[in-house]
Amino acid sequence: MTARLVREGGTGKTAAAQFDETLDFLATQVSVAANDTFTTATMNCLKSNLEESLRLFVEMLREPAFDQQRLDTARARQLEALKQRNDEAGSILGREWKRLVYGPDHFEAAEPTAASVAALDREKLSALHRRIFHPGNAIVAVSGDFDEQDMLDRLTRAFTGWERGVAAPDPAAPTAVLEPGLYHVPKKIPQGKVVIGGRSIARDDPDAIPLLILNEILGAGGFTSRLMQQVRSNEGLAYSVRSAVAPRVTYPGDFRAGFESKSETVALATKIVLDEIRRIRAEKVSAEELETAKRGLIETFPRQFESKPAMLRLFVNDEWTKRPPDYWKTFRRKVEAVTADDLLRVAQAHLDPEKMAILVVGDWEAIAPGDLGKRASMNEFFGGRVKHLPLRDPLTLEPLPDTGGTK
């Protein structure tokens, strides 16, 4: 909300509507966005009006007014969005998965409530702004047609007098430990939405590149991946099935495989996914699979550097997160060096189904018995023990009555 209102809420010198009109007149694009760990402000302007655009941009960052009417509108939009977050099974699945993997008290699993949104006021936004938006917590990056010294002079003038401040610390690592098991959240739909996985590795782990290649073969490589071939192409159980490794910079992220299938075939699709994870841990991948995965990563590598702004964002992120300076120079060489033996070792080290959780959103009575051909049922997983998690009220996130228990 702070990021949104820095952009939308005007400045101490310029009212919100006038600020927007001035940017439109200059044909200058300005945005401010925030995720869990970064806030990014960007400006794209014509060379001919750089001076005026830069002045407005820095004024916005330094002196946001947090216009009350704009804040009220933003809160109202957010509250309407909260009301709808149980509408889609995917939203429920993502919310509960983060709680399982990172713990309900960690910021990765944090979710707004109606009360927390209503409590947002100009004072809270201003306090967060003072912590985050200052030169001591920022990297300034520029791309385009300009003279380097001239740009440095302009930036020096623009930032002069802005108190440096203290850099924000790295995000705290989660302390929760994922409890392997079978979990279910009720929702009356004809399909089951499923995720299978657990905690994985940190971004700069020595096994990161081999695990990336392994995941391409298992489930991230589109129609050439094993999960897509087995679950969709051979069995027709799901339109899409994928796996992903999502490492974090300073602590391990997660691995997950996910799909959506008809209620009666959820168990069979789950069994196939787990069988493929076990198979990739038990036997070496083929030479063809290994070569296809390597070529995919190497041949798509240049796309990250197709534009100067994209390249700049990449290197700024690396600077922030202290990525090894030779990472991109050596990336393709390291990919080429990975062997089938490496992948087998990495699979055995990082993909253990016994340490994973299965989370299902759907109608349990229809899902549990399995398919009509009796090829699989939910009783096959974790001895048939399932923990029924509650469906949460979309506004309070408190459990809705009669939607959760343990069996």
Q: Mind listing the pLDDT tens digit for each residue in 151-206?
A: 999 999 999 999 999 999 999 999 999 999 999 999 999 999 999 999 999 999 99
CA separation for the pair 146, 148 (Å, rounded): 6
Report the 10 Å Cβ neighbour count for 341. Answer: 10
pLDDT band at 402 (very low <50, low <70, confident <90, very high): confident
Tell me the backbone φ, ψ of residue 202, rounded to 5 degrees: -85, 160
The secondary element (H helix, E strand) that includes residue 406 is strand 405-406
pLDDT band at 407 (very low <50, low <70, confident <90, very high): very low
Mean pLDDT (whole number) for 220-233: 96
Mean pLDDT (whole number) for 375-400: 97
Q: Is the pLDDT of residue 83 over 50?
A: yes
pLDDT band at 328 (very low <50, low <70, confident <90, very high): very high
Distance of CA 93 to the CA centre of its chain: 14
Type of residue found at 377: S
Computed over every residue of the chain, the mean pLDDT equals 96
Distance of CA 146 to the CA centre of its chain: 34
At 290-303, the pLDDT tens digits run 999 999 999 999 99
At 244-289, the pLDDT tens digits run 999 999 999 999 999 999 999 999 999 999 999 999 999 999 999 9
Are 111 and 95 in contact, with CB atoms under 8 Å apart?
yes
Quote the pLDDT of residue 404.
Answer: 66
361, with CB counted inside 10 A (0-12, 13-18, 19+), is buried
Tell me the backbone φ, ψ of residue 406, rounded to 5 degrees: -130, 135
CA separation for the pair 291, 293 (Å, rounded): 5
Quote the pLDDT of residue 366.
Answer: 98
Quote the pLDDT of residue 403.
Answer: 74
Quote the pLDDT of residue 405.
Answer: 56
Mean pLDDT (whole number) for 208-220: 98
Yes or no: is domain 2-159 CATH 3.30.830.10? yes
Q: Is the pLDDT of residue 397 over 70?
A: yes
Comparing CA positions, the residue from 138, 1, 114 lying closest to residue 67 is 1
Which residues is 260 bridged to in the sheet? 193
Question: 181-397 sits in which CATH class?
Answer: alpha beta
Distance of CA 320 to the CA centre of its chain: 18
Q: Please list the residue range(s) of the chain that carry CATH number 3.30.830.10.
A: 2-159, 181-397
Beta carbons within 8 Å of 75's beta carbon, 6+ residues apart:
1, 117, 118, 120
